[in-house]
Homo-oligomer: A and B are copies of this chain.
Amino acid sequence: MASFNSRYRAILERNSTRLCIGLDSDVRNVPDALAGAADPLYEFNARIIDATSDLCCAYKLNLAFYESAGPEGMRSLERTLQRIPEGVLTIGDAKRGDIGNTAERYANSLLAHYNFDAVTVNPYMGMDTLAPFFAYEGRCVFVLALTSNPGSADFQRLQVDGTPIYMRVINRCMETYGATGSLGFVVGATHPGELADVRRHVGQDIALLIPGLGTQGGDAQATTAANDGGVAFFNVSRAIISAGKGADFADRAREAARAFVDQISENAGTTAL
């Protein structure tokens, strides 16, 4: 399989945007127009994907929203993945982390069974728990570093000998996996100063997954400037998929996605395509 970054460059060349659309699709909130569908969660996603797949470089599927519907929700996830056009990348946002033989099963689930192009993982349990995810070629493993929520201050920012935990996570991962072509980090758009520090620290070719634009309040201009044109996925979820509640929800999603594409591209930095 081609390297993850070469696949990223290919979709960037085609769709000219670093926008990633988060399919945090909530079966309780699908528009009434889909109420009679056999699989409303999938139908909702299919309409969103069809309306936006030329306006993003990736879709991020948040596993929680599928798991909460039980086995049927996982079928909706499978169907959704099949709907995403070839070339548009898929990120399984699952934030898994567990001991070796268990991590191997999580990696198998996400990177073999569901065949995501990328996943998010949680580093709290240590470096040995991340290894199985790096066994798959051509994928990206986004390690949680500094997340977008207020609680990121509770442990991620604690200082150990003058270095915050999230930067320790980044340093350990760079040492171990920096040369694999598969390492990425999650850094929230709500922290543009730290995002700029991380980008300088890891260089332009390490992929950053940057959630927090839109509903969570991250500023597109500050965020794109901080990223400085490096490999990045600017994720927006609710502000796109919940832009409309009526029968025209997919059109409203497209308009919202278009607006984010414009905000991001105006500030994508000098090394952007």
| Residues of A bordering B, CB below 8 Å | 24, 26, 62, 64-65, 67-72, 74-75, 78, 95-103, 105-106, 108-109, 112-114, 122-129, 144, 147-156, 158-160, 165, 168-169, 172, 216
- Distance (Å) between the CB of A250 and the closest chain B CB? 22
Q: Which of B69, B156, B160 contacts A124 (CB 8 A)?
A: B156
Additional 12 contacts, C-beta under 8 A, given A70-B74, A126-B152: A24-B101, A64-B106, A65-B105, A67-B105, A67-B113, A68-B109, A68-B113, A95-B125, A122-B125, A123-B124, A126-B155, A155-B168
For the complex of A and B, list the 8 residue pairs with the smallest distance between their C-beta atoms, beginning with the closest.
A126-B151, A64-B105, A126-B154, A128-B151, A71-B74, A124-B124, A67-B109, A68-B109
- Closest residue of B by beta carbon distance from A26: B105
A71-B71 contact in complex given A99-B149, A124-B124, A127-B151, C-beta closer than 8 Å: yes
Closest to A124 in B: B124
Question: What is the distance, in angstroms, from A31's C-beta to the closest C-beta of chain B?
Answer: 18
